[in-house]
């Protein structure tokens, strides 16, 4: 049996006694980073004074032995993010950990940095970050020296400073485009997400790769801007459907945008799929609740979150820390009624 | 300052020392129910032996001072339930409490009873129950003598043994039916939920009341069975659209079912709303992502869950326990494109 602390001691208690920041305490106790020797000594003295036994008791410093997993996200109305929240919560509950939420208001780098600090101060032993904030945190160096493990949920590519749980978005987008080409489509529109969102570029690159390997010239006007919202999908669809020649298929970067394309097509009297094939990405619940049911890429959000939470909990509980690594889960194409060979 | 426990003591520790069940300890400490005097004495002796100061320290027996709110639910893919989960989680996080999940597999009375026990053993200080399980628990007497407060999330009517946070479903369904009548509809189909779900009856009664007050005869064949799922909506819509005369409007018990009606209408070449008006209930995200956008009742799921979690936390933290009471939140009709006067 590990000796338990004789009273509730928090990281803050140790930090106050040692005269250092809570993050320094965490750095020392997790033995993971370079810390000045004077800082380390002050922390260890404080720990000794407080009669605290280390490792794994150290793990329980923050929060009375409860493992706490932070989750940073924004825009929970988005169905994919909602599935991430549910997957994280079900896993932390099942494994007896607590989920700490850190919703973002704006999503800029400053807010992401502050959010990481807040989660650590609140005792998070590992932090899961939703896209695109995991990418922003990585590119700005916010996670390079983080005192707790950081797990990126579905980033658009493997990242240097974070554990990554994702699917191969490039291959998935390429496969969906190959499928549309196999039906006979050549004029295939693409609606991408916001440029700062890495996933937008990766999926667009997959679309371009499939066209190139099929010897189909890239028409830049067929790539329309969006931001993954239904509203942006209406605008992008309006742009694409005004082109001459009009695309015979549109591949949207997520299902909400594909639903918007379908909605506008109906409004313009176009028959989906005979006048226009529509494909989405994510396979969120809406895919089978619109008419016609949507062909899309199955992107397992809840499973990604569940694997990420499991990894975070294992690392927080003292599991060996592997080198930063990426896990690629399986995706699949869900072929439904919204895609067909072009007519005429 | 309240004296804090000198080491981590759980309800289980007290129960073991007293030789009684954890639920008896909870009953005694919450001072809310008739307990045999011998049991009470044994518990108080154990508490004294463990050097534990009561009230509010008693509140922290289960789980080292952390307030724990249980949530019992099933079928989280349903958008309304997903909003309940998110509302509960955001509130427990904001108020520094922990959310314990208790997902149900089957949803029968035995599983509900066992789920309540499990949540209490795991230290839940209050329990929120999603529909229809809050109704099942109430009608089977499972919550009558519960040792912690039970809050029903959106039950179909006020319940005797649970705090209720809901909208007035009867009035909301009546108002939507009145609106359809005001457009000129007389042959209005209704798709209800499962009969054991109290909300199904309440909403149907509202539909009937509006027809009666308008002097429109009730045609029983216009009331079709469903179970709130998209699939059941396809079946019910098929039945209703086969009637002669065909209804000119269909009011569905939730948005997924209304989406199914819309989908089938498109499939049969009917124009919504000119050949068929469609109305839903809940105003989940899908309402504005199908074409045409759905007229529906705004049912604030996240707010209901948030108010329920707040009430549970306040009661768990020693707030005065009001008599069991029901809170009715506002609803509104969201009038969109799927409803219009009947043509011809």
Beta carbons within 8 Å of A6's beta carbon, 6+ residues apart: A51, B6, B7
Residues in chain A closer than 8 A to B64 (CB atoms):
8, 64-66
pLDDT of residue A30: 52
A263 to B291: CB separation less than 8 angstroms, yes or no = yes
pLDDT at A31 over 80: no
Among A66, A101, A267, beta carbon nearest to B89: A101
pLDDT of residue A34: 57
CA distance A8 to B59: 16
Query: Are A342 and A184 a contacting pair, CB within 8 Å?
Result: yes
Give the H or E element holding residue A126. Answer: strand A126-129
Residues linked to residue B69 through DSSP beta bridges, in sequence order: B99, B126
pLDDT of residue A28: 63
B263: nearest CA in chain A? A291
Interface subset of A 67-86, CB within 8 angstroms of B: 76-77, 79, 82, 85-86
Give the H or E element holding residue B12. Answer: helix B11-18
Among B89, B101, B286, beta carbon nearest to A289: B286
- Give the number of A-B residue pairs with CB atoms closer than 8 Å: 87
Residue given tokens 């309440």 in the structure block: B202
pLDDT of residue B116: 96
Using the CB atoms, write b or e for B316-340: b if 16+ within 10 Å: beeeeeeebeeeeeebebbebbbbb
Top pLDDT among B118 and A21 is at: B118
A271: helix, coil or strand?
Answer: coil
pLDDT of residue B61: 39
Average pLDDT over chain A, rounded to whole? 87
Interface subset of B 220-239, CB within 8 angstroms of A: 230
Q: How many alpha carbons fall within 13 Å on the CB side of residue A160? A: 9
Top pLDDT among A122 and B40 is at: A122
Among A6, A76, A285, beta carbon nearest to B86: A76
Tokens of B270: 């009917």
Residues linked to residue A152 through DSSP beta bridges, in sequence order: A129, A164
Top pLDDT among A128 and B80 is at: A128
Rounded average pLDDT per 10-residue block, chain B, 344 residues: 38 72 64 64 68 37 70 84 88 90 91 95 94 95 94 95 96 98 98 91 97 97 95 97 97 97 96 97 94 96 94 87 82 97 88
pLDDT of residue B57: 32
3-state secondary structure B163-215: EEEECCHHHHHHHHHHHHHHCCCCCEEEECCCCCCHHHHHHHHHHHHHHHHCC
Quote the ipTM score. 0.71
A291 to B230: CB separation less than 8 angstroms, yes or no = no
Query: Are B125 and B68 a contacting pair, CB within 8 Å?
Result: yes
Residues linked to residue A72 through DSSP beta bridges, in sequence order: A102, A129
CA distance B64 to B5: 9
Quick one: average pLDDT of A117-143? 94
Residue A331 pLDDT class (50, 70, 90 cuts): very high
User: Of A179, A235, A227, A183, nearest to A207 (Cα)?
Assistant: A179
pLDDT of residue B28: 63
Using N-to-C axis directions, what is the helix angle for A11-18 and A37-49, rounded to 10°? Answer: 120
CA distance B241 to B248: 9
Under DSSP, the state recorded for B101 is E
Residues in chain A closer than 8 A to B6 (CB atoms):
6-7
Residues in chain B closer than 8 A to A267 (CB atoms):
291
Residues in chain B closer than 8 A to A229 (CB atoms):
none
3-state secondary structure A239-252: HHHCCCCCCCEEEE
Tokens of A43: 């922390």
Query: Are A164 and A327 a contacting pair, CB within 8 Å?
Result: yes
Among B8, B79, B262, beta carbon nearest to A291: B262
Give the H or E element holding residue B129. Answer: strand B126-129
pLDDT of residue A4: 34
Residues linked to residue A336 through DSSP beta bridges, in sequence order: none
Residues in chain B closer than 8 A to A289 (CB atoms):
230, 256, 259-260, 263, 286, 290
Quick one: average pLDDT of A229-249? 97
Query: Are A173 and A202 a contacting pair, CB within 8 Å?
Result: yes
A289 to B64: CB separation less than 8 angstroms, yes or no = no
Select, from the ranges A57-71, A78-92, A197-211, B23-37, the one with the highest average predicted confidence (pLDDT).
Answer: A197-211
A90 to B77: CB separation less than 8 angstroms, yes or no = no
A160-210 per-position pLDDT tens digit? 999 999 999 999 999 999 999 999 999 999 999 998 889 999 999 999 999
CA distance A181 to B92: 49
pLDDT at A61 over 80: no
CA distance A252 to A258: 5
pLDDT of residue A26: 62
Kindly state the greatest CA–CA separation across chain B: 82
Interface subset of B 284-323, CB within 8 angstroms of A: 285-286, 288-291
Q: How many alpha carbons fall within 13 Å on the CB side of residue A300? A: 16
pLDDT of residue B86: 87
Helices and strands of chain A, counted as H and E runs: 11, 12
Using the CB atoms, write b or e for A254-264: b if 16+ within 10 Å: bbbbbbbbbbb
Query: Are B338 and B183 a contacting pair, CB within 8 Å?
Result: no
A196-236 per-position pLDDT tens digit? 889 999 999 999 999 999 999 999 999 999 999 999 999 99
A258: helix, coil or strand?
Answer: helix
pLDDT of residue B13: 66
Please enumerate, as own/partner, the contacts of A77-82 that have beta carbons within 8 Å and a separation of 24 or more: A77/B285, A78/A228, A78/A256, A79/A255, A79/A256, A79/A282, A79/A284, A79/A285, A79/A286, A79/B285, A80/A154, A80/A254, A80/A282, A80/A284, A80/A299, A80/A301, A81/A130, A81/A301, A82/B82, A82/B86
Give the whole-number percent of chain A exceeding pLDDT 90: 68
């Amino acid at each position: 049996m590990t000796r338990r602390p004789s009273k509730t001691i928090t990281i803050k208690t140790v930090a106050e006694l040692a005269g250092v920041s809570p993050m320094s305490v965490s750095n020392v106790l997790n033995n993971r980073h370079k810390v000045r020797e004077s800082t380390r000594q002050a922390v260890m003295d404080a720990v000794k004074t407080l009669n605290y036994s280390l490792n794994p008791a150290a793990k329980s410093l923050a929060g009375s032995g409860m493992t706490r997993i932070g989750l940073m996200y924004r825009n929970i109305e988005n169905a994919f993010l909602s599935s991430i929240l549910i997957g994280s919560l079900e896993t932390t509950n099942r494994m007896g950990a607590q989920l700490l939420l850190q919703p973002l208001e704006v999503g800029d780098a400053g807010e992401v940095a502050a959010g990481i600090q807040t989660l650590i101060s609140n005792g998070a032993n590992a932090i899961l970050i939703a896209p695109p904030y995991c990418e922003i945190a990585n590119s700005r160096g916010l996670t390079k020296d983080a005192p707790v493990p950081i797990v990126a949920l579905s980033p658009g590519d493997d990242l240097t400073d974070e554990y990554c749980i994702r699917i191969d978005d490039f291959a998935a987008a390429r496969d969906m485009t190959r499928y549309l080409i196999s039906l006979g489509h050549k004029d295939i529109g693409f609606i991408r997400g916001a440029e700062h969102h890495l996933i937008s570029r990766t999926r667009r690159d997959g679309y371009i790769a499939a066209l190139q390997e099929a010897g189909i010239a890239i028409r830049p006007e067929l790539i329309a801007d969006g931001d993954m919202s239904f509203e942006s999908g209406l605008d992008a669809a309006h742009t694409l459907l005004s082109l001459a020649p009009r695309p015979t298929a549109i591949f949207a970067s997520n299902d909400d945008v594909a639903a918007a394309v379908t909605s506008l097509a109906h409004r313009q009297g176009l028959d989906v799929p005979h006048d226009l094939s529509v494909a989405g990405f994510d396979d969120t619940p809406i895919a089978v609740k619109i008419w016609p049911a949507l062909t899309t890429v199955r992107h397992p959000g809840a499973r990604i979150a569940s694997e990420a939470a499991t990894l975070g909990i294992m690392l927080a509980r003292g599991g060996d820390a592997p080198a930063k690594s990426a896990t690629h889960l399986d995706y699949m194409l869900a072929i439904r009624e919204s895609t067909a060979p072009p007519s005429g």
